[in-house]
């Protein structure tokens, strides 16, 4: 009787777990695997054909984020000749570089800042979870938990995060946060967008920006090359770019993978649980195979060998 | 070599092969049974110590400068090269060379190869110190070293490769300390501690294998985060962790060969006949094992080049540099090992091991520094940065020697 | 009053027919007596006011170049033509009627543009000015393109 009850309860458990596995799991799993970004993901469309290199965005960013004064003033255009390929660093979240191309009548300018990836490499590489992707699309950084390992700088395919190497006691990563605290979280565009006189920067929902980009390209095909940088780069970015010249000519890295950086470490991460589960049994087994009976004294006490030891001993006995 | 001979002369003068009585006071054990004056004499008369002191005289102020004025006051502090020579050498170079602990732990405890027993403790110690100093290097390079424990206790990013590295290195460090405890217990006369550790040694060894496999591989997988920045010949996401894991196998074995050769030559007084008498045979045995790892490594390397279709890169300048590295790291040592084992020429094996050790360090530096950002520009570490590396290496040397002088590593304790 | 004037021109335009429209329009525009000078001062907190010589530009471009389809004539941009074949004559044809001073203020970014097939990429006022002015100056090779030629800095 008691046995029967037990059997029944076991059966019940089995059935219910099978049911839940069949009906509940797939739904949950599918949504986890197919997550293609937040619907509310905001972005900025950068139209290189519009930018005139006035550096208003740099100035606005500097003011908004309270960054140190630049060593070349923001209204000084000579910076383009003095420093050819600047990158965002510990003093600037965004910089504008100039590119001369024979394919376009006037000089081209390219604004560089965090692209706020849909699947940020910095976030996936961070072992203390200092990065967060907000539903608005911003990739924000928490200096309070950062250890300063700088793996995010290695991982970022756009080389955006910068480290404050010159600070002994409060170093941190410096990186564009899409003006999350002061603006984006309140539904407003970042400071650089608002400052852009040419509206080379357009703020909006990423999906709509993509359609705007395509529309501009369709309307003025002579004005744009048929490519939206950031649509697929690194698995897609919030900031998107359209350009009148091939992107490589405007300093864009075309070698950036078209899939999330995370994909490149998945092979290894998938191997981890296998090693964790297979190795103990495997090596305990090898130990027992190598052991001549009675020859090793002190080691027999550990549990693995005790349990499987009996099995081996039995097989020896046959 | 003159140097250390002096040392042994002094020590044999004061009673070489010192082995304290069980009930001797700790202070006596620490001073190797010498008086304070004699011990000081020992230090001062050894020219190696002067060389070390010369490095430290500049190195320690540099270290202070790093902590008081920030990383960029001593390093190149480059935004484009987040990991410099300190991590490239100290973490990525030291860790594979410290795989010796789990290699010989496995050989002796799992495969029951008692013939490797005489060198097991040296291998374990080499592993422990290698890891410990890799963490010291990390503490120098880390932006906020005082937050080292954050990944364990404060904020978790479990999906990150570095999370694995951090946890595995931390736990493995504990495992290695436990594995060295019997030696310490013998020295400090704590037989119950020794008995306890012996009782869990199989578990410790298997934990060591798991943790080593994973974090040696994880160090390689870290570079998979930068597939576009590192030259394709030095990165192949599918195989990177295998490259690092397999190279750590011969790395650890070769490092033990190198260290044991040095010890045999310059610390003869400390070794017992069990160690000295068996070392040549053991060295050849290790060489056989390493040779297998070399072959495996070369095959996976070729598979990686074929898989990623990188044959054309091999005929570029980068390709020649890559082949030079591959020859130094694996082909030349493999040939030396083959000839050495065949004709029982241990000296050849010892030189081969040294070349392999240098080759591995070169490989890691090539990945972190040389082939990194290969399409843009190269940055050269500052002299201060290199000096800091030398400084930490000196500490490594001092601690290594300090332990070898005292604990029953190169000799069998009378209680064993 | 401007309003009633413009109404008159619509009728005139209709009568003139398609071929004659540029001429008619030119004369019509002149007859509206547009402002000689426009003072643009929305950035007065940062710069001095920009004094736009409207009369001068009348000679360089037709009204529709800048006023698109609201100045009572068919627009010059072929993309606009299918809907605005004839052009509308609005009471208020100043730029800020369509180009918002605060580009993102009124927009709910979740819904913006979704229902509109066109007019989903309308620049804000500042953007409209600069895009129009600088692009044209670059093309015709005259007129200011730098910042301080128009924007006098406050001291």
Residue pLDDT tens, chain B, 416 long = 344 444 555 555 444 567 777 777 788 888 887 888 888 888 888 899 999 999 999 999 999 999 999 999 999 889 999 999 999 999 999 999 999 999 999 999 998 888 999 999 999 999 999 999 999 999 999 999 999 999 888 989 888 999 999 998 899 999 999 999 999 998 888 889 998 998 898 899 999 999 999 989 999 999 999 998 999 999 998 899 999 999 999 999 999 999 999 999 999 988 999 999 999 999 999 999 999 999 999 999 999 999 988 999 999 999 999 999 999 999 999 999 999 999 999 999 999 999 999 999 999 999 999 999 998 888 889 999 999 999 999 999 999 999 999 899 998 887 76
- DSSP for B118-179, please give it: HHHHHHHHHHHHHHHHHHHHHHHH-SSGGGTTHHHHT---TTSHHHHHHHHHHHHHHHHHHH
Q: Please state whether beta strands C37-40 and A239-242 pair in parallel, antiparallel, or not at all (unpaired).
A: unpaired
> Using an 8 Å Cβ cutoff, are A257 and A264 in contact?
yes
Q: Does C121 touch chain A (CB under 8 A)?
A: yes
* Partner A contacted by B154 (CB < 8 A): yes
- B77 → closest Cβ in A128, A146, A165: A165
Please name the helix (run of DSSP H) or strand (run of DSSP E) that holds residue B63, with its range, or none.
Answer: helix B47-69
Judging contacts by C-beta atoms under 8 Å, the chain B residues touching residue A280 are 206, 210
Closest to A93 (Cα-Cα) out of A239, A205, A206 = A239
**Confidence bin at C31 (pLDDT 50/70/90):** very low
Please state, in angstroms and rounded to a whole number, the distance separating the CA atoms of residues B386 and B390: 6
Helix (H) or strand (E) holding A174: strand A173-174
Tell me which of A90-94, B22-26, B125-129, C105-109 is least confident. C105-109
Q: How far is C12 from chain A (nearest CA, A)?
A: 32
Using the beta-carbon criterion (under 8 Å), do A147 and B147 form an inter-chain contact?
A: yes
Token readout for A59 is: 């100035």
Residues of B in contact with A171 (CB under 8 A): 70-71, 143-144
Ramachandran quadrant class, A10 (left: phi over 0; alpha: psi -120 to 50; beta: rest): alpha
- 10 Å Cβ neighbour count for B229? 24
What pLDDT shows up at residue C84? 84
Q: Which residues contact B188 (CB under 8 A, 6 or more apart)?
A: B26, B29
* Chain C interface, best mutation among A58, A186, A204, A218, by max C CB count within 10 A: A204
Yes or no, beta carbons of A215 and C121 under 8 Å apart: yes
**Is A306's pLDDT higher than 60?**
no
The answer to whether C147 faces chain A, any CB pair under 8 Å, is yes
Residue whose token pair is 């609005």: C90
pLDDT of residue C41: 82
Interface residue of A83, A120, A160, A165 to substitute, partner B, most B CBs within 10 Å: A165
A312/B37: higher pLDDT: B37
Token pair belonging to A138: 């911003």
CA nearest to A131 within chain B: B157
pLDDT of the residue at B189: 87
* Chain A adjacent subunits, 3+ CB pairs under 8 A: B, C
**Pair of tokens at residue C138:** 């670059």
Per-residue tokens: B52: 């070390």
Using a CB-CB cut-off of 8 Å, the residues of chain A touching C129 are 197
C124 in A contact zone (CB under 8 Å):
yes
As for the ipTM of the complex, it is 0.89
Query: Which residues does A contribute to its contact with C (CB < 8 Å)?
Result: 40, 42, 50, 52, 54, 75, 105-106, 187-189, 193-194, 196-199, 202-205, 208, 211-212, 215-216, 219
Option in A163, A279, A290 nearest B210 (CB): A279
Q: For residue A229, name the pLDDT band (cuts at 50, 70, 90).
A: very high
pLDDT recorded at residue B9: 53
Beta bridge partner(s), residue C40: C50
Q: Does C134 touch chain A (CB under 8 A)?
A: yes
Q: How far is B124 from chain A (nearest CA, A)?
A: 18
What's the pLDDT at A12?
52
With touching defined as 3+ CB pairs under 8 A, do chains C and B touch? no
- A chain contacts of residue B74, beta-carbon cutoff 8 Å: none
Q: Of all residues in chain B, what percent are helix, strand and coil, respectively (each to 5)?
A: 75, 0, 25
Instruction: Verify whether the Cβ–Cβ distance B201 to A299 is below 8 Å.
Output: yes
Site from B80, B116, B142, B160 to mutate, A interface, most A CB atoms within 10 angstroms: B160
Per DSSP, A110 falls in state: E
More confident residue, C82 or B216: B216
What DSSP character marks residue B316?
Answer: S
Q: What is the pLDDT of residues A5-62, one digit of tens each?
A: 444 454 454 444 444 444 444 433 444 456 777 888 999 999 999 999 999 999 999 9
d(CA C122, CA A204): 12
pLDDT at A2 over 50: no
Is the distance from CB of B98 to CB of B134 less than 8 angstroms? yes
Q: Are B87 and A150 contacting, i.e. CB atoms less than 8 angstroms apart? A: no
Mark yes or no for CB contact C131/A189 under 8 Å: no
Q: How would CATH label the architecture of B46-406?
A: Up-down Bundle (1.20)
Interface test with A, best of C102, C128, C130 (most A CBs within 10 A): C130
Count helices and strands in chain A by DSSP H and E runs: 10, 9
| B71: chain A residues, CB-CB within 8 Å | 165-166, 168, 171
Query: How far is Cα A128 from Cα B159, in angstroms, rounded to an integer?
Result: 10
Q: Which residue has the tokens 């009572």?
A: C72
Burial status of residue A109 (CB atoms within 10 A of its CB: 0-12, 13-18, 19 or more): buried
CB neighbours of residue A9 within 10 Å? 10
Tokens of C129: 């000015």
The answer for B 317-376 residues in CB contact with A (under 8 A) is 375
* Identity of the residue in A129, A166, A284 whose CB atom sits nearest the CB atom of B72: A166
Question: How large is the angle between the packed helices B117-141 and B383-406, nearest 10 degrees?
Answer: 150
Rounded Cα distance, B341 and B291, in Å: 10
Taking residue A119's Cβ as centre, other Cβ atoms within 10 Å add up to 19
Chains B and A touch (3+ CB pairs under 8 A): yes
The residue assigned the tokens 């540029």 is C22
- Measured between alpha carbons, how far is B211 from B175 in angstroms, rounded to an integer? 9
Contact B210, A279 (CB under 8 A): yes
Q: Which residues of chain C are within 8 Å of residue A189 when distances are taken between CB atoms?
A: 103-104
Distant-in-sequence, close-in-space partners of B339: CB < 8 Å, separation ≥ 6? B345, B348
Q: What is the pTM of this model?
A: 0.84
Q: Which helix H or strand E contains A132, and what residues bound it? A: strand A131-133
Give the DSSP letter of residue C105: T
Q: Using alpha carbons, select from B51, B24, B49, B52 the residue that is nearest to residue B39.
A: B49
Q: Are A131 and B153 in contact (CB under 8 A)?
A: no
Query: CA A210 to CA A224: how far, in whole Å?
Result: 14
Chain B CA closest to residue A151:
B82
Q: Which residues of A touch C138 (CB under 8 A)?
A: 105-106
> Could you tell me the two tokens for B360?
């591995």
CA distances from B33 to A233, B20, B48 (A): 67, 7, 22
Half-sphere exposure (Cβ direction) of C111: Cα atoms closer than 13 Å: 4
C13 falls in which pLDDT band (50, 70, 90)? very low
Mutation to test the C interface, candidates A46, A60, A197, A240, most C Cβ within 10 Å: A197
Instruction: Give SS3 for A68.
Output: coil
Query: In this structure, how many other beta carbons lie within 10 angstroms of the beta carbon of residue A163?
Result: 26
CB contact under 8 A, A129 and B80: no
- CA-wise closest residue to B235 among C20, A155, A134, C129: A155
Neighbours of B406 (CB within 10 A): 18
A42, A54, A106: residue with CB nearest C147: A54
- HEC per residue, B4-56: HHHHHHHHHHCCCCCCCCCCCCHHHHHCCCCCHHHHHHHHHCCHHHHHHHHHH
**Higher pLDDT, residue A184 or C84:** A184
In the DSSP assignment, the letter for residue C77 is: -
- Domains in chain A, CATH or no CATH each: 42-120+157-260 (3.30.70.20), 262-293+301-318 (no CATH)
The whole-angstrom separation of Cα C15 and Cα A150 is: 73
How far apart are the two ends of chain B, measured CA to CA in Å? 32
What's the per-residue H, E or C state across A207-251?
HHHHHHHHHHHHHCHHHCCCCCECCCHHHCECEEEECCCCHHHHC
Q: Which residues contact C143 (CB under 8 A, 6 or more apart)?
A: C133, C136, C137
Calculate how close chain A gets to C80, using CA atoms only, in Å: 11
- pLDDT value, residue A198: 92
The answer on pLDDT for C38 being more than 50 is yes
Choose the closest CB to A199 out of C79, C123, C138. C123
Name the band, by pLDDT with cuts 50, 70 and 90, for residue A254. Answer: very high
pLDDT in tens, A99-141: 988 778 788 999 999 999 999 999 999 999 999 999 999 999 9
**Residue C18 pLDDT exceeds 50:** no
What's the Cα-to-Cα distance from A175 to each of A94, A164, A203, B156, rounded to whole Å? 9, 11, 19, 21
- Mean pLDDT for chain A? 83
H or E element, residue A271: helix A263-290
- Where are the extended beta strands (E) located within chain C? 37-40, 50-53
Residue pair B281/B114 in contact (Cβ under 8 Å)? The answer is no
> Mind telling me how many Å the CA of A164 is from chain B's nearest CA?
9
**Closest Cα to residue B99, out of B245, B218, B207?**
B245
Whole-angstrom Cα distance, residue A79 to residue A95? 10
Any A CB within 8 A of C126 CB? yes
Chain A residues whose CB is inside 8 A of the C121 CB are 202, 212, 215-216
Q: Which residues of C touch A194 (CB under 8 A)?
A: 103-104
What pLDDT score does A30 carry? 41
């Amino acid at each position: 009787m008691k046995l029967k009850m037990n059997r029944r309860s076991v059966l019940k458990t089995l059935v219910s777990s099978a049911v839940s596995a069949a009906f509940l799991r797939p739904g949950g799993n599918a949504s986890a695997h197919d997550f293609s970004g937040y619907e509310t993901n905001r972005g900025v469309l950068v139209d290189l054909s519009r930018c005139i290199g006035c550096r208003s965005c740099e100035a606005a960013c500097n003011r908004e984020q309270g960054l140190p004064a630049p060593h070349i003033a923001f209204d000084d255009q000579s910076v383009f000749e003095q420093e050819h390929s600047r990158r965002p660093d510990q003093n600037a979240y965004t910089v504008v570089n100039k590119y001369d191309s024979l394919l376009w009548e006037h000089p081209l300018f390219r604004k560089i800042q965090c692209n706020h990836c849909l699947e940020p490499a910095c976030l996936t590489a961070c072992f203390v979870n200092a990065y967060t992707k907000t539903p608005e699309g911003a990739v924000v950084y928490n200096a309070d938990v950062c250890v300063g390992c700088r793996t995010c700088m290695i991982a970022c395919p756009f080389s955006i995060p910068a480290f404050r190497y010159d600070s002994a006691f409060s170093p941190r990563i410096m990186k564009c946060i899409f003006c999350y605290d002061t603006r984006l979280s309140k539904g407003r565009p970042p400071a650089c967008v608002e400052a852009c006189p040419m509206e080379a920067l357009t703020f909006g929902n990423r999906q709509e920006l993509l359609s705007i980009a395509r529309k501009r390209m369709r309307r003025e095909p002579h004005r744009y090359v048929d490519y939206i940088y950031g649509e697929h780069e690194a698995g897609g970015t919030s900031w998107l770019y359209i350009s009148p010249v091939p992107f490589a000519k405007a300093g864009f890295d075309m070698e950036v993978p078209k899939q999330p950086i995370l994909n490149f470490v998945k092979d290894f991460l998938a191997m981890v649980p296998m090693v964790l589960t297979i190795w103990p049994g495997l090596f305990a087994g090898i130990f027992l195979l190598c052991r001549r009976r009675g020859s090793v004294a002190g080691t027999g006490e550990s549990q693995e060998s005790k349990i499987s030891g009996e099995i081996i001993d039995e097989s020896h006995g046959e | 070599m003159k140097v250390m001979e002096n040392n042994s002369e002094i020590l044999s003068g004061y009673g070489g092969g010192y082995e304290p009585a069980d009930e001797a006071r700790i202070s006596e054990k620490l001073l190797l049974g010498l008086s304070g004056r004699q011990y000081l004499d020992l230090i001062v008369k050894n020219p190696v110590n002067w060389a070390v002191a010369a490095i430290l005289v500049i190195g320690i102020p540099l270290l202070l400068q790093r902590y008081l004025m920030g990383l960029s006051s001593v390093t190149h502090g480059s935004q484009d090269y987040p990991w410099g020579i300190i991590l490239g050498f100290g973490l990525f170079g030291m860790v594979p060379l410290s795989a010796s602990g789990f290699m010989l732990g496995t050989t002796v405890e799992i495969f029951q190869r008692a013939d490797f027993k005489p060198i097991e403790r040296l291998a374990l110690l080499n592993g422990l110190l290698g890891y410990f100093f890799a963490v010291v290097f990390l503490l120098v390079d880390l932006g906020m070293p005082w937050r080292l424990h954050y990944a364990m206790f404060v904020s978790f990013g479990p999906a990150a490769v570095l999370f694995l590295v951090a946890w595995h290195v931390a736990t493995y460090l504990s495992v290695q300390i436990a594995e060295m405890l019997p030696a310490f217990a013998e020295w400090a006369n704590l037989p119950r501690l020794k008995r306890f550790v012996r009782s869990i040694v199989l578990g410790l060894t298997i934990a060591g294998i798991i943790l080593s496999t994973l974090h040696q591989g994880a160090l390689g997988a870290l570079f998979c985060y930068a597939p576009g920045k590192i030259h394709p010949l030095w990165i192949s996401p599918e195989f990177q962790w295998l490259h690092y894991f397999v190279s750590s196998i011969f790395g650890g074995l070769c490092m033990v060969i190198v260290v044991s050769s040095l010890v045999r030559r310059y610390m003869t007084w400390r070794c017992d006949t069990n160690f000295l008498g068996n070392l040549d045979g053991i060295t050849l045995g290790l060489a056989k094992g390493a040779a297998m790892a070399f072959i495996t490594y070369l095959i996976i390397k070729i598979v990686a080049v074929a898989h990623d279709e990188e044959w054309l890169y091999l005929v570029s300048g980068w390709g020649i540099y890559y082949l030079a590295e591959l020859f130094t790291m694996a082909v030349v040592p493999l040939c030396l090992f083959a000839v050495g084992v065949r004709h029982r020429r241990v000296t050849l094996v010892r030189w081969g091991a040294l070349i392999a050790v240098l080759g591995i360090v070169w490989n890691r530096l090539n990945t972190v520094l040389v082939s990194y950002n290969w399409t843009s520009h190269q940055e050269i570490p500052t002299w201060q940065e290199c000096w800091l590396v030398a400084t930490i290496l000196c500490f490594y040397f001092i601690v290594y020697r300090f332990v070898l002088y005292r604990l029953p590593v190169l000799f069998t304790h009378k209680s064993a | 009053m401007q309003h009633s004037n413009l109404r008159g021109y619509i009728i005139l335009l209709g009568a003139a027919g398609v071929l004659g429209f540029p001429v008619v329009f030119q004369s019509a525009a002149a007859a509206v007596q547009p402002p000689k000078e426009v003072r643009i001062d929305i950035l007065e907190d940062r710069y001095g006011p920009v004094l736009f010589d409207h009369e001068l530009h009348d000679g360089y471009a037709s009204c529709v170049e800048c006023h698109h389809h609201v100045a009572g004539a068919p627009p010059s941009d072929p993309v606009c033509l299918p809907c605005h074949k004839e052009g509308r004559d609005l009471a208020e044809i100043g730029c800020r009627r369509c180009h918002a001073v605060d580009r993102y203020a009124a927009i709910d970014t979740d819904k913006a543009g979704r229902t509109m097939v066109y007019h989903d990429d309308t620049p804000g006022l500042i953007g409209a000015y600069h895009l129009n002015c600088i692009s044209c100056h670059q093309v015709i090779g005259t007129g200011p393109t730098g910042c301080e030629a128009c924007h006098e800095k406050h001291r």
